[in-house]
Amino acid sequence: MNRREELALNLQEIRSRVAAACIAADRRPEDVSIITVTKTWPASDIKILADLGVHEIGESRDQEAREKFEELSSLGLRWHFIGQFQTNKANRIAQYADVVHSIDRLNAVEALARAASNVDRTITALVQVSLDQTPTVGRGGASPGEYLKVADAIAQSSHLHLGGVMAVAPLGESSDTAFGRLEELAAKFQAEFPDSKMVSAGMSDDLVEAVAHGATHLRIGSAIMGSRSYVQ
Ligand SMILES: *Cc1c(COP(=O)(O)O)cnc(C)c1O
């Protein structure tokens, strides 16, 4: 099987898994989008994906994302930055990212807002919320006490559009339980910000649970691309 056949097959499989998860959760498949996470994979793979009808691309490392974007800028793809957001990279990220999923603190809002304004682009920003029950180092995310403040700051920034919330299921807990908390938190969020309906949650191994708890945007890497040679 060549790479194109492999990617086409994986896409078909993941789309039917997502459709089945939607049926099981009594949701409409058109309300759940798949972002294909291509970190570590070459631009040539993204070209194939685009040809197979994939336009939502997720990347988590600035340097790598930027190189691919430059090579593929003619394809009209939508670039999602899903990695940890470092304020010193804001100016670079603002040049290619259409959506930034990982804004979890006020100084990140300021940095992205300023960077977006410098290049005169409007960027959709999601508030990354922490689902950790005890504060731990590692995955990032605003605490339940802080995420609404971060959201407010985004909503007030003229070059940012508040898209919604994003989360990663913590290790060492069932993703079903963790995404249950996300669902409650997203409901509170939408009570405050009714136009910001994105819920970015669910990866290759926990997409069923994410769909069951209201995810609108799944970030799927290895189930489409294959297993990566580095972990992040
Ligand atoms: C890599 C990554 C994904 C995709 O993970 P898979 O398990 O390969 O599907 C999703 N979200 C974030 C934030 C990631 O870094």
* Per-residue pLDDT reduced to its tens digit, 136-151: 665 689 998 899 999 9
**pTM for this predicted structure:** 0.96
* Per-residue pLDDT reduced to its tens digit, 47-98: 999 999 999 999 999 999 999 999 999 999 999 999 999 999 999 999 999 9
Pocket-forming residues, ligand 1, beta carbon under 6 Å: 37, 39, 60, 82, 168, 203-205, 219-223, 232
Instruction: Report helix angle 3-24 to 43-51, nearest 10.
Output: 60
Ligand 1 centroid to residue 175 C-alpha, Å: 14
Ligand 1 centroid to residue 193 C-alpha, Å: 26
Measured from the Cα of 204, ligand 1's closest atom is: 9
CA atoms within 13 Å, Cβ hemisphere of 198: 25
Ligand 1 centroid to residue 157 C-alpha, Å: 28
- Which residue segments constitute the domains of the chain, with CATH numbers given? 3-225 (3.20.20.10)
CA pair distance 232, 2, nearest whole angstrom: 26
DSSP code for 85: P
Round to the nearest angstrom and report the end-to-end CA distance of the chain.
27
